[in-house]
Amino acid sequence: MQNVLVTGADGFIGSHLAESLTAQGIRVRAFCQYNSFNSRGWLDRIDPGLVSKMEIVLGDIRDARMVQQALHGVDAVYHLAALIAIPYSYHAPESYVDVNIRGTLNVLEGARYHKTNRILVTSTSEVYGTAMYVPITEDHPRQAQSPYSATKIAADALAVSYYRSFGLPVTIVRPFNTYGPRQSARAIIPTIITQLLAGKQEIQLGDLRPTRDLVFVADTVKGFEKIAATPSLIGEDVNIATQAEISISTLAQELIGQLNPLATTNQEEDRLRPANSEVFRLLGSAHKLEQHTGWKPDTTLREGLVKTIHWFRNPDNIRHYRSDTYIV
């Protein structure tokens, strides 16, 4: 696959994926959200030499015609464009339906029209809700505990239907909690790090009890690449997980220990999800991915946190974050 489309290439995982593919000599068409500032998101912050080799397309994943045009002439599409912030989905659920469901439909229809050889649709571990059993396999029941997760469940179902109805070569890629450089401020690790680097002695957080399976972004990207190269995973959904979990409380203490051992945590009411919406336990199984591709995470949690902190310590990077504002 020498010509690929990456939707959401301006975002966190998308920018890392587009960067990695381009570095391997693959021709990347990077689909970024149109805006009047002509910003290409995180692609404006990476090696300009790599970006110059990409074909940048500014558009809107909700525009079927534009998505179909972007799919012309590509061998594969990595579909990552989505609205992902869970708290914001409580305020603007219609936006999530438009972007996550209709946007995915546009990609599937465009790929069907062009007979695209490989389609990877990005899901989320949030579709599982609080674990009924661990480790969570791909057969785990889906539980919509937020409008965001409901739209991702629907998008996944659409993708499966296009595989079964039209033979579209789709794989649903389901990363657990990816973290690392460039992650949005609404995520837990940037929230903690930016507050600590700003010198705060009391770190404001939501519920400290939930556990998460944290995957470093380079390992998530490697998972995408291996899945795309594995025909036996067509028609499947596949977890990317470390098969280890850590509570938010323990994670916070780990980062506090590295950055400011005197700091404490405070549970802030505004940051709590509605009672029945919180996902309390996520611990994924990566057995299918390892069995089909040999994938294993290369980065331990401690190593990944050190790399992430190092990136945030760069004043040129952290200036894009506001530690004094709760980002929904």
Over residues 232-257, the mean pLDDT reads 98
Q: Please report, rounded to a whole number, the percentage of residues in the chain having pLDDT higher than 70.
A: 100
What's the pLDDT score for residue 327?
77
Over residues 180-190, the mean pLDDT reads 95
User: What separation in angstroms does the CA of 327 have from each of 58, 191, 277?
Assistant: 25, 9, 18
In-domain check, residue 219: yes
Number of domains in the chain: 1
Angle of helix 248-259 relative to helix 188-197, nearest 10 degrees, comes to: 30
For tokens 């693959």, the residue is 26
Distance from chain centroid for Cα 322? 21
Name the token pair of 262.
Answer: 């005197």
Q: How confident is the model over 66-79, as pLDDT tens digits?
A: 999 999 999 999 99
In-domain check, residue 200: no
CA–CA dist 327, 184 (Å, integer): 9
CA–CA dist 171, 296 (Å, integer): 19
In-domain check, residue 147: yes
In-domain check, residue 113: yes
Residue 183, pLDDT above cutoff 80: yes
Which residues partner with 64 through β-bridges?
A: none
pLDDT band for position 94 (cuts 50, 70, 90): very high
Over residues 20-39, the mean pLDDT reads 96
How many CB atoms are located within 10 Å of the residue 261 CB? Answer: 8
Residue 320, pLDDT above cutoff 90: no
Pairing of strands 211-212, 246-247: antiparallel
Pairing of strands 177-179, 246-247: unpaired
Over residues 291-316, the mean pLDDT reads 97
Q: How confident is the model over 135-160, as pLDDT tens digits?
A: 999 999 999 999 999 999 999 999 99
In-domain check, residue 274: no
pLDDT band for position 245 (cuts 50, 70, 90): very high
Residue 328, pLDDT above cutoff 90: no
In-domain check, residue 272: no
Over residues 203-211, the mean pLDDT reads 97
Please say whether the beta carbons of 148 and 84 come within 8 A: yes
Query: Collapsing DSSP states into helix, strand and coil, what is residue 7?
Result: strand
In-domain check, residue 189: no
Q: In which element (H, E) is residue 211 found?
A: strand 211-212
Residue 325, pLDDT above cutoff 90: no
CA–CA dist 28, 312 (Å, integer): 27
Residue 324, pLDDT above cutoff 90: no
Q: Please report, rounded to a whole number, the percentage of residues in the chain having pLDDT higher than 90.
A: 96
Q: What range defines the domain where residue 104 resides?
A: 3-179+214-240
Residue 1, pLDDT above cutoff 90: no
Q: How confident is the model over 251-271, as pLDDT tens digits?
A: 999 999 999 999 999 999 999
Over residues 19-37, the mean pLDDT reads 97
Residue 203, pLDDT above cutoff 90: yes
Residue 96, pLDDT above cutoff 90: yes
pLDDT band for position 281 (cuts 50, 70, 90): very high
CATH of the domain at 48: 3.40.50.720
In-domain check, residue 192: no
Residue 130, pLDDT above cutoff 90: yes
Lowest mean pLDDT among 4-13, 292-301, 315-324: 315-324
* Chain mean pLDDT for the chain: 97
